[in-house]
């Protein structure tokens, strides 16, 4: 189940992350997005492997999803201004 959850979240992140990188963000902002997402997915994986209390797994998923939405917003905002 953990692997399927990773696939459901990481594959869209790669697509949106590629478009985000091509949209010309500031380097520090892009690194922050990518590092937060990677950290949240690592924490989420550990939450599956080690039976951590439920808020930890849910919060780590929400943080990663929020980062993906933030990048998608930036991509759409950049595309609409062109």
Q: Domain for residue 16, yes or no? A: no
Query: The domain containing residue 35 runs over which residues?
Result: 1-11+27-80
Please indicate, yes or no, if residue 22 is contained in any of the structural domains.
no
pLDDT in tens, 1-51: 777 888 888 999 999 999 999 999 999 999 999 999 999 999 998 988 888
pLDDT of residue 74: 96
For residue 21, tell me if it sits in a domain. Answer: no
Task: Assign residue 59 the CATH number of its domain.
Answer: 1.20.120.550
Q: Is the pLDDT of residue 82 over 80?
A: no
- What is the total count of domains within the chain? 1
Alpha helix (H) residue ranges in the chain:
2-22, 27-49, 54-81
């Amino acid at each position: 189940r953990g692997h399927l959850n990773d696939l459901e979240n990481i594959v869209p992140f790669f697509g949106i992350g590629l478009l985000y990188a091509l949209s010309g963000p500031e380097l520090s902002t892009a690194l922050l997005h990518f590092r937060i997402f990677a950290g949240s997915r690592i924490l989420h994986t550990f939450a599956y492997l080690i039976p951590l209390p439920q808020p930890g797994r849910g919060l780590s998923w929400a943080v990663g999803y929020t980062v993906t939405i933030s990048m998608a917003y930036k991509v759409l905002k950049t595309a609409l201004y062109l």
